[in-house]
Amino acid sequence: MAWEYSEKTKQLFLDAVHGKPGTHLGEIEDPDGLGEHGSIACGDAMRFMFRVERDPVDATRDVIVEARYLTFGCTSAIAASEALCTLIEQGRYTPIEALRIRNTDIVEFLGGLPSQKVHCSVMGAEALESAVFNWAQRRGVDLARLGIDIHASEQEDGRIVCKCFSLTEPYLRRKIRELNLRTIPEITHAVKAGGACMSCHHVPGGLQDLLDETWKKPAGSVPALTQIRLPAQAAAEAEEPAISPYQFSKKVEQTLHDYIQPMLRQDGGDVELIDIKDRLVYLRLAGACQGCAGAAQTLCMLVEQKLKELVDERIRVIEV
């Protein structure tokens, strides 16, 4: 499917990829704060960095004067990253003040995002937190003493709940509370958990259990017949009726033919469709792509992302 982006989102994206003056795509040499969030292997990752004007007496009064980013992702990931950098620079925030920026501020700055792309704004806010944590370590600022609870290792520590996106229980519990997530689709739209193989939805200790425990739903209670849906999600469902397996396969084939194969063939590569089972698309790389050291990244960052963007967000590509 084609996402409906605001004009501001599209313009920020185009300005960034063309390197227009005033945009922020790039790196800062020896930054004062550096943070990362997401997974390159899954096609969505962001590295965020900033430089401060140091206060000679009180490090908490350092002011961010430059912010930049690198991201692996789609239109909304780049636009959300641009929005984050712009908000910080225009506000002349201290690193601690910058933590007030939430993903909802990024979405508002962009004039809205498709509900399926809200996770891109969350990724920016998470990368900012990681960068502030890094700045605090470098400058000797005790965040805990200031009542700020962020941890650089939260993504790595704890039981993995969503194996497809390597998301841990502590991280998911925190995001469920922070973003007031009430259903599995809301979790998927916000942080991508459960958006690929979906095996973590209802297993013991899975997403539904985390929701029940967070919002104190009694064990063994009968689930409601209706689900709370995000307004944008409800509108999208009303506008886009479900397609048949045949229509789905034809859309996959058309996207491969019109977009993906021409890009790969420019470098002597190609891709062959082998099979489709539900939302799993089995592909074989050919030509220069076959056996290439970057084959896995090609599948995730190019092929899978394009299929997600133009066909269905739930698609997962499997190499055979």
Burial class for 13, CB neighbours closer than 10 Å (0-12, 13-18, 19+): buried
Closest CA to 121 of 179, 54, 194, 64: 179
Q: Is 135 helix (H, G, I), strand (E, B) or coil?
A: helix
Is residue 113 classed as helix, strand or coil in its secondary structure?
Answer: coil
In whole angstroms, give the CA distance from residue 155 to residue 41.
Answer: 15
Q: Which amino acid is at 274?
A: I
Pick the closest to residue 217 from 209, 205, 207 (CA basis): 209
The candidate with the shortest Cα–Cα distance to 277, out of 249, 250, 297, is: 249
Dist. CA 147–CA 17, nearest whole Å: 38
d(C-alpha 146, C-alpha 59), whole Å:
13
Q: Quick check: 171 and 158 in contact, CB under 8 A?
A: yes
Which sequence positions are flagged as catalytic?
A: 42, 120
CA atoms of 191 and 9, how far apart (whole Å): 20
Query: Mapped to the 3 state alphabet, what secondary structure does 52-78 carry?
Result: EECCCCCHHHCEEEEEEEEEECCHHHH
Residues 205 and 167: beta-carbon distance below 8 Å? no
Q: Which helix (H) or strand (E) holds 34?
A: strand 33-39
